[in-house]
Chains A and B, each alone.
Chain A
Amino acid sequence: MSKPPSSRGAGARERLQHWLPKLVLSPSFVLVLFFVYGFILWTSYISFSDSGMLPDYTWAGTRQWSRLWSSWTWGIALHNIWVFGLLYIVSCTLLGLLLAILLDQRIRAEGTLRTIYLYPMALSFIVTGTAWQWFLNPGLGLERTMHSLGWESFSFNWLIDANMAIYTVVIAAVWQATGFIMAMFLAGLRGIDGEMIKAAQIDGAPTWKIYLRIVIPQLRPVFLSAIVVLAHLAIKSFDLIVAMTGGGPGNATAVPATFMYSYAFSRNEMGIAAASAVFMLAVIAALIIPYLYSELREPRS
């Protein structure tokens, strides 16, 4: 105790100061506890229940989980999220790094270019998805434009090709996120000591070697952040796919999120949907928790 309580009034004020922050925070705490963590538990329970169109609290053991894993569509969804996630993360990281390096060469219109590259991130996924759907739609967009310009043999119909449709989603998603990743790398590049580059020049390293041996190894923390950001964006990529392909053609672009949505709300299989949702949560948690742990616990040297 630094100060002895001098009077009754001061004691009350101190008590108030002690309780006020807790009091102010408690409503949101209760809301989050109930609506986020409460419903996580509720969903987890539903995944072990007999629920169909409506919640049904009869315990069904792992029946919904085995139905989920034997589902053909779920297999496609998992395959798609792998393809999509991998391509998305790798392309965004490499393209973002490349753009950042090019933009870091003290070029004139850097501010303008940076903004242009960053703008897609300001759009919602729905807008991006719709725009790219129009653009890649053979009857409306690129293909038709090329035809009307006289290039009759031009063909780009990946959007309606079941084998290729997932790649159109990758293109749109990469287009949207690359600028943001570029900004992250650019910030990392700006943090690198210019004298180090000069030292490497005097040491006789060609530019590509300076980047490969000296600059990029120093961007390791940026790589880590970029990959975590992209990975969770990839797993959450629901709206983009809904807007662009609706999971189609057929189930060709289904991902776990669209799978969960369609089983919960159109196929009346709430139990399977809950199981898939819990699975997605577990995957994201497996990605995010180690990252947060290393970010928050690691003493900065």
Chain B
Amino acid sequence: MSFLHIHNIHKRFGETHVLKGIDIAIEKGDFLVLVGPSGCGKSTLLNMIAGLDDISEGELRLDGERINDLHPSRRDIAMVFQSYALYPSMTVAGNIGFGLEMRKVPKAERRAAVQRAAELLQIENLLDRKPGQLSGGQRQRVAMGRALVREPQLFLFDEPLSNLDAKLRVDMRTEIKQLHQRLGTTIVYVTHDQIEAMTLATRIAVMRGGELQQLGTPQAVYDDPNNLFVAGFMGSPSMNLVTARIERLGGELVARLTAGSDEVVLPVVRDRAALEAWCDREVIVGLRPEAITDPSSANRQDGVIHEAELAVDLVEPTGADLYVVTQLGGRSINARMRPGSTLEPGQRARFAFDVSRMVAFEPDSEHRIRNPETVAPSEPAVVTSIS
């Protein structure tokens, strides 16, 4: 039995069906990130785990115990809110210790626990201040201290970094990850930022429109997306998704893509068996920008490289990389090249495609076209058993 088990959870607000049967199971010590665009139901799901929203249907189990109807304070959870939700009339120490005070922990013990939490988060010097006198990052720490001090079984984070500026957000992200590694706590974390999801999670649950799209490790979600939405949502810059025609060329299965007035023919390597059925039909193929490079930086050891010459439309240096925009399959696509290459717009250049990383999707249903043996079952509970 998994540690946190979300089983076929539904949420209805009157006529609106907000969550349509979510199944997620994670183990103790996992860092689950619920990610998706706004309105996908991720915060509702978190509130239901916290007990702040009723569960319309389904079952919620924490460490084997059914907690559907337990009051939030009795679920052995702590939550960090987007607005931090600090109590403005109390000092930092009062804020951190409030939960213990309500649980009638003796004063001396309480003070020691608050001190420990404050040391862990390096806010000992702030204990006598009021929240109004703190900066955003400091408030964030206090909010985390309030959650940590009770040593709950499960931590819930509701977009905790979205009110911080970009620099601080990266620092706090690192710190949350360190904290998780050090304390080994189980965390459920909600965000709309897929980079946060990738960097923090041990398990990512991608949600859309009240439905779970995919549950898996960050790498699995990134490399092996279940559908077009997951492929497009995860990763920045996002995956290049273009229309291609699957054909048989001299006994080989290939994907034929238009490239301006030209054509590019890429051999099909991945999911070949499944794509046989799509011969002479159009599919959508996806290639991450880092799977399209200049020939010299192509990974010929692990990948299967196929080169083609294309026109350079635009060159975008980011310092670490050089993104080159070209036309493929009727759309502008991004290729990640070695920085410092001397490409100019209008010029023609050789592009190296790592076709072993190419994924294909059904154009209508937007589902992944995948070989049967590697199909991730639609029941996510089984996915977790892979670990």
Question: A residues engaging B (CB < 8 A)?
Answer: 193, 195-196, 198-205, 209, 213-214, 217-218, 301
Within the complex, what minimum Cβ distance (angstroms) separates A52 from chain B? 56
Q: Tell me which of B83, B88, B98 contacts A218 (CB under 8 A).
A: B88
User: Does B249 sit within 8 A of A, measured CB to CB?
Assistant: no
Which residues of A lie under 8 Å from residue B99 when comparing CB positions? Answer: 202-204
CA distance A204 to B88 in the complex (A): 18
Which residues of B lie under 8 Å from residue A213 when comparing CB positions? Answer: 87, 89-90, 98
CA distance A204 to B74 in the complex (A): 8
CA distance A193 to B82 in the complex (A): 11
> Contact at A198–B50, with CB atoms within 8 Å?
yes
CA distance A217 to B88 in the complex (A): 9
CA distance A213 to B102 in the complex (A): 11
A195-B82, A217-B88 given; 4 more Cβ-contact pairs under 8 Å: A195-B83, A201-B72, A202-B72, A218-B88
Which residues of B lie under 8 Å from residue A202 when comparing CB positions? Answer: 50-52, 72-73, 77-79, 99
CA distance A199 to B82 in the complex (A): 11
10 contacts across the A-B interface (CB closer than 8 A): A193-B83, A198-B85, A201-B73, A202-B52, A202-B77, A202-B79, A203-B99, A204-B102, A205-B73, A217-B88
Within the complex, what minimum Cβ distance (angstroms) separates A221 from chain B? 12
Q: Tell me which of A198, A204, A214, A301 contacts B79 (CB under 8 A).
A: A198
Contacts A203-B102, A301-B132 given: A195-B73 contact, CB under 8 Å? no
Question: B residues engaging A (CB < 8 A)?
Answer: 47, 50-52, 71-74, 77-79, 81-83, 85-90, 98-99, 102-103, 132, 146
Q: Tell me which of A193, A204, A217 contacts B73 (CB under 8 A).
A: A204
Contacts A203-B99, A204-B102 given: A198-B87 contact, CB under 8 Å? no
Which residues of A lie under 8 Å from residue B89 when comparing CB positions? Answer: 213-214, 217-218
Which residues of A lie under 8 Å from residue B83 when comparing CB positions? Answer: 193, 195-196
> Contact at A198–B81, with CB atoms within 8 Å?
yes
Contacts A204-B103, A205-B102 given: A199-B146 contact, CB under 8 Å? yes
Which residues of A lie under 8 Å from residue B51 when comparing CB positions? Answer: 202
CA distance A205 to B71 in the complex (A): 11
Which residues of B lie under 8 Å from residue A203 when comparing CB positions? Answer: 73, 98-99, 102, 146
Closest partner residue, chain A, to B78 (CB atom) = A202
Within the complex, what minimum Cβ distance (angstroms) separates A90 from chain B? 22
CA distance A256 to B9 in the complex (A): 68
CA distance A209 to B98 in the complex (A): 11
Closest partner residue, chain A, to B47 (CB atom) = A198
Which residues of A lie under 8 Å from residue B47 when comparing CB positions? Answer: 198
CA distance A110 to B15 in the complex (A): 22
Which residues of B lie under 8 Å from residue A198 when comparing CB positions? Answer: 47, 50, 52, 72, 79, 81, 85
CA distance A217 to B132 in the complex (A): 14
Within the complex, what minimum Cβ distance (angstroms) separates B248 from chain A? 58
Which residues of B lie under 8 Å from residue A193 when comparing CB positions? Answer: 83, 85
Which residues of B lie under 8 Å from residue A217 when comparing CB positions? Answer: 88-89
Within the complex, what minimum Cβ distance (angstroms) separates A251 from chain B? 45
CA distance A50 to B79 in the complex (A): 74
> Contact at A201–B88, with CB atoms within 8 Å?
no
Q: Tell me which of A199, A209, A218, A301 contacts B81 (CB under 8 A).
A: A199
Which residues of B lie under 8 Å from residue A301 when comparing CB positions? Answer: 132
CA distance A209 to B99 in the complex (A): 12
Which residues of A lie under 8 Å from residue B50 when comparing CB positions? Answer: 198, 202
Within the complex, what minimum Cβ distance (angstroms) separates A123 from chain B? 37
> Contact at A200–B87, with CB atoms within 8 Å?
yes
Which residues of B lie under 8 Å from residue A199 when comparing CB positions? Answer: 79, 81, 85, 87, 146
Contacts A213-B87, A214-B87, A218-B89 given: A200-B98 contact, CB under 8 Å? yes
Within the complex, what minimum Cβ distance (angstroms) separates B291 from chain A? 42
Closest partner residue, chain B, to A196 (CB atom) = B85
Closest partner residue, chain A, to B80 (CB atom) = A199
Contacts A202-B73, A202-B78, A202-B79 given: A195-B85 contact, CB under 8 Å? yes
CA distance A89 to B87 in the complex (A): 28
